[in-house]
Chains A and B, each alone.
Chain A
Amino acid sequence: MSRTADQVLEQEFLQVRAKILEIAAFFDRLSEGGAVTNEQQLRLLRDGSTILNDGADEKAARVQLLFSRQYESNWREKFGV
């Protein structure tokens, strides 16, 4: 059982509106606080919010991967285990 897009939108519109507002207010607080030292962290947040607006699917999984350390398939050789 899954809901139609119209049902999802109707049921969750206000919650998501509030979440977008939280993120907007966060970026306002950030710019009022001056320059950021940890630019890499800031870039991650900006890249994360870009995923929300691109045309592609699997947004949650792609946001997760954006914030993830890289996996290297030869790790066992490196560790010797």
Chain B
Amino acid sequence: MYYIDPHIHMVSRTTDDYETLAKMGCVALSEPAFWAGFDRGSVDSFRDYFRQLTETEPKRAAQYGIQHFTWLCINAKEAENVSLSREVIAMIPEFLDRPNVLGIGEIGLNKNTKNEATIFLEHVDLAVRHDQQILIHTPHLEDKYQGTRMILDMLCGDTRIQRHRVLVDHVEEHTIGPVLDAGFWAGMTLYPVTKCTPQRAADMIERFGPERLMANSAGDWGPSKPTAIPDLILELRRRGHSEAAIRRVVYENPRTFFEQSRHFAFVAPENR
């Protein structure tokens, strides 16, 4: 089955991973900008990172027939540095016309601080002013519920936001309901240890239905599994879901959401 991974950090994966993803049916992916495992020292460091996301990774992906799309921002962890964040936000428009850029992301909260919230709101304003879609990171573990509610407060408090153009990622059992109820898209992240397993993701699909719901691997530099979506496909097949129902979540939903970005020049495999 063909699938799209809507949230995967390929800069921290090997070229062999691209090959494996392609063999498993991945035909496109989207890579939000995130934390590199260390705090970067200057705006130029982000400028180079955005070149990597808009120049290098699309070429690496194309070698295996995978279309690479990306999202730009300074992540929530580094947003604690407000002055650096403002420099990065001012620089982002240099890259918004690059052909694989889908929007602003993954913005969000990490420890739910005042500085993180301040920079989140400034990113949202940037996205609105440039008519960009938004991809959102919600915090992990004990911070997730509080942070997700705070993010929803900020989004719902801005009447300029078109909710169907916002994806809220890393939802789990206690946050998926509020996100979907408010009219946003929701992404479940399949992480091996602390986060959501394919079994629990399948439970949420059965409980909430496929509307505005997708799944991703997050595959980054930490313990993670870039082929987590095929694991979910297998779990859903084992439970007796139809191929069409599975395809909706892992292929059609990401496509429908991304098609709202003017740069999503996706060519389906059957039309290549």
CB-CB nearest in chain B for A3: B239
How far, in Å, is A76 (CB) from chain B's closest CB?
Answer: 7
Q: Which residues of chain A are within 8 angstroms of B157 by Cβ–Cβ distance?
A: 76
Q: Which of A1, A60, A70 contacts B203 (CB 8 A)?
A: A60
The residues in A between 39 and 81 inclusive whose CB is less than 8 angstroms from any CB of B are 58, 60-61, 64-65, 67-71, 73, 75-76, 79-81
> Quick check: is B48 within 8 A (CB to CB) of the other chain?
no
Interface size of B by CB at 8 A reads: 27
A67 to B118 alpha-carbon distance, docked (Å):
26
The residues in B between 233 and 272 inclusive whose CB is less than 8 angstroms from any CB of A are 238-242, 245
> Quick check: is B117 within 8 A (CB to CB) of the other chain?
yes
> Quick check: is A2 within 8 A (CB to CB) of the other chain?
yes
A22 to B144 alpha-carbon distance, docked (Å):
26
CB-CB nearest in chain A for B113: A79
Contact B118 A81 (CB under 8 A): yes
Given A1-B245, A75-B153, A64 and B172 contact (CB-CB distance below 8 Å): yes
Chain A interface helix/strand/loop/mixed: loop
Contact A67 B239 (CB under 8 A): no
Chain B interface helix/strand/loop/mixed: helix
Given A1-B240, A79-B117, A68 and B173 contact (CB-CB distance below 8 Å): no
Give a binary string over A3-27; 1 marks a CB under 8 Å from any B CB, 0 the rest.
1000000010000000000000000
CB-CB nearest in chain A for B242: A1
Q: Which of B144, B150, B172, B203 contacts A75 (CB 8 A)?
A: B150
24 contacts between A and B (CB under 8 A): A1-B240, A1-B241, A1-B242, A1-B245, A2-B206, A3-B240, A58-B173, A60-B203, A61-B174, A64-B173, A64-B174, A67-B142, A68-B144, A68-B146, A71-B145, A71-B146, A71-B149, A71-B150, A75-B150, A76-B117, A79-B114, A80-B114, A81-B114, A81-B118
**B positions within 8 Å CB-CB of A:** 112, 114, 117-118, 121, 141-146, 149-150, 153, 157, 172-174, 200, 203, 206, 238-242, 245
Query: 18 extra interchain contacts, Cβ-Cβ under 8 A, other than A60-B203, A71-B145, A81-B114?
Result: A1-B206, A1-B245, A3-B239, A11-B238, A58-B173, A60-B173, A60-B200, A61-B173, A61-B174, A64-B144, A69-B112, A69-B146, A71-B146, A71-B150, A75-B153, A76-B153, A76-B157, A79-B114
